[in-house]
Structure 1
Amino acid sequence: MESSKDLSAFIGTHFVYTYDNGWKYEWYARNENSCDYRIHQGLVGGRWVTHQQMNAVQFAPGIYKVDWHEPTGTCVSLLFDMNRELVHGTIFFPQWIAGEGQHPEKTICYQNEFIDDMRKFRDEGPAYPYVIIPEFAKVTYMKNEGANNDEVINKAPGQLPGNYFDNK
């Protein structure tokens, strides 16, 4: 069974969603190979990234899966069900970020300006054992903003215009 590389209905889509654990995220399918995101609330709330390299596939009609590995050592896997307006995310945090007594605050920045720092923190570790957090999220905003739109995720997390977390 093959998944589809037809991402035309997905690319350019801007999502805002809240995980069952209360973490609030914003994510944008910039193009077939990269995404942008902001974390509004959660363990690393305040963090944001643009042009994150990713792998994306169409899992089934209206269902897309994306995966990436960050310079921090964090791995992320997201499944977007656009029809049911749900996301299932699994975040694999290295120990240095999410372990007992560690330092998630070191990642709270615009990562693009601190790539070397993120790699240094990753290499200093510790990495293992990874802290694995699987959660469902409800999409509260979904709109196609077009591919490679630098206006979608262009500033630090904060109050979103409108009420993107509660409008559905």
Structure 2
Amino acid sequence: MPVHPTLEGSTFNEDIRDRHLIYDYAAKDKQGNPSKWRYEMWFYNEDRIVYAIHGGPMAGRRNFQTATYQCIQPGELWQCNWLEETGTICSLVYDIPKKHITTLLGFSKGHWLHNEKSHGDKRNPDDLARWRELAKVGESQADRVLLYSQADILEDFRGPGTLQPIEMSWSTL
């Protein structure tokens, strides 16, 4: 696919394309004890991300999504945003030199309250249908749980790693 006009002339190919990050959020469990929430993000191309969640309440989730990217500072800061089938809004800022991720997530009420139902793989039609039902829980789209956090990057490499490649023809949302 052609590069989006907002990415033309940017450092997207050098900075982001095909980059794979594994990172941990330093969170706490329900008893207040330290708990690592491991995430894995693959910036597949200028239109998609592929990710897996290995720790925390959303552990066991594998997804791919249409994403938008914007360069904040070439070679240093990039933002990636997407909307999930569950109704969850995700925004991630990647600080390349500091090897750091900052996120803001607007979880749908259904996703947050019934996080075990958000587990699974989008490639499985039953999982995808269940996720879409989670977006309907709550009084309105304003009924969200906001979670902001920061994570340190543990691994940074190019390529899929253990994540499965996707077809651009596969639908998102």
TM-score, scaled to structure 2: 0.76
- Would you say the 8 A contact 1:14–1:144 is kept in 2? yes
Aligned residue number for residue 32 of structure 2: none
> What's the CA shift for 1:112?
3.1
CA distance in 2, matches of 1:97, 1:122: 7
Answer whether contact 1:16 1:27 (CA < 8 A) is retained: yes
By how many angstroms is 1:121 displaced?
2.7
Query: Quick one: distance in 1 between partners of 2:43 and 2:164?
Result: 14
Larger relative contact order (Cα-Cα within 8 Å, sequence gap ≥ 6): 1
Aligned match of 2:47: 33
Structure 1 segment 48-67 matched on structure 2, within 5 A: 48-50=62-64, 52-61=65-74, 62-67=76-81
Deviation at 1:107, TM superposition (A): 0.6
Deviates more, 1:28-37 or 1:88-97: 88-97
Other-structure match for 1:143: 157
Structure 2 unaligned blocks of 5 or more:
1-5, 28-35, 166-173
SS in 1 for 2:120: coil
In the alignment, the residues of structure 2 paired with residue 89 and residue 42 of structure 1 have an alpha-carbon distance, to the nearest angstrom, of 15
Which residue in 2 is equivalent to 1:108?
Answer: 119
**Sequence identity of aligned pairs in percent?**
22
Aligned residues: 143
AA paired with 2:118? T
Stretches of 4+ aligned residues off by more than 4 angstroms: none
Aligned partner (choices 111, 118, 130) of residue 131 of structure 2: 118
TM-score calculated relative to the size of structure 1: 0.79
Residue of structure 1 equivalent to 2:86: 72
Letter in 2 for 1:20: A
